Amino acid sequence: MIKYVAGLLFGIALGAFTAATLLYFNPLAARNPLSPLSVSNNKILSLNYSIVPNDSIVYTNNGESRVRPHPEKVRELWEAPIRHSEVLVTVVKDSRNDPAGIGIKFSSDSERTRIINGEALVDSAWHIHLVERGSLFVEQTENYWNFLRKIVLPAYWSTTNHWKGTWNANMTVGPRALGTAAVSGGTGEFAGLESEAVEAIHASAYSVLQGPVAMDGSLTIDIAGNIELTASDVAER
């Protein structure tokens, strides 16, 4: 009898391991890296920022993550309704790497996350003010599944607790039909703007102890209408 129970448990463990391996290597979870905006005929506004918390003005989370808040004494988001959230306040730069404004990114883990579909979803919103120009609000859903699979887990499995390499990917998967973010203009030259955007990550180093070490983000915003772009806005495409 014990032999059969042991056999059943061994089978269950083997089955669970096989299923977990299939989920991890699920080829259907691979995303098309091509940005839908790369085929747009409209003008493109490109904004870049550093994802490394120590490069930010303020970064805060629940204080229990391995990625530590910055500066050290910033208030943490420990209350139950906000403990799955983080906020990044940073200088956003144009495509010539000159400061263009201030961006605030609110991110919260999404309840629509489904590992079986290769989805580790985050609902995020950008509040961006471009100095002397105006403000924008960007709403998006991001999928961090491939980020976890290609960067975070390999860092944990590495004997040095570190990942190094080159990884570029679009994170935005919605809410728009083509997997783009929704952009709403607020003030200045962006007042009344309704458009789309895509956020991408360019990663080259990640540490288990510190989180992102060398990692940049970029927001590509499709500017429909008559908004005049400066030369430094326009990213090479």
Partner 1 sequence: MLKTVILGFILGIVGTVAAAYYVPVVDQHRESSVIAVAPNGGNTESFRINIPTDRIMVGAPKQAEPLPPGLDWPADEFFDGVRVELFKLRNSADAVIGVASRMVADSDAIEDSIEWVLHLPARGTFYVAMPVQTADESRRVGTLRAGTREFSPMQGTVSERWVAITDNDDIDAPDGYIELETSFVGTLSDDMTETELQEGAQ
Strands 162-170 and 134-143, bridge-based pairing: unpaired
**Exposed e or buried b per residue across 176-203, where buried means at least 16 C-beta atoms within 10 angstroms of its C-beta:** beebbbbbebeeebbeebebbbbbbbeb
Kindly state the smallest distance separating residue 45's Cβ from partner 1, in Å: 16
Stretch that binds partner 1, among 29-37, 38-46, 126-134, 157-165 (CB under 8 A): 126-134
* Integer CA distances (angstroms), 43 to 40, 97, 197, in order: 8, 19, 12
The DSSP call for residue 113 is -
CA dihedral 203, 205, 209, 212 (to 10 degrees): -30
For the segment 75-94, give every residue that binds partner 1 (CB under 8 A): 75, 77, 79-85, 87, 89, 91
C-alpha span between 123 and 30 (Å, rounded): 20
For the segment 139-168, give every residue that binds partner 1 (CB under 8 A): 139
Stretch that binds partner 1, among 36-44, 97-105, 145-153, 160-168 (CB under 8 A): 97-105
197 to 236: interface string for partner 1, x by CB under 8 A = ----------------------------------------
Nearer to partner 1 by Cβ, of 13 and 168: the residue is 13
Kindly state the smallest distance separating residue 168's Cβ from partner 1, in Å: 26
> Helices then strands (H, E): number in the chain?
3, 11
Binding site for partner 1 (CB under 8 A): 3-4, 7-20, 23, 57-58, 60, 71-75, 77, 79-85, 87, 89, 91, 99, 101-102, 104, 106, 108-111, 113-116, 120, 123, 125, 127, 129, 131-135, 137, 139, 175, 182, 184-189
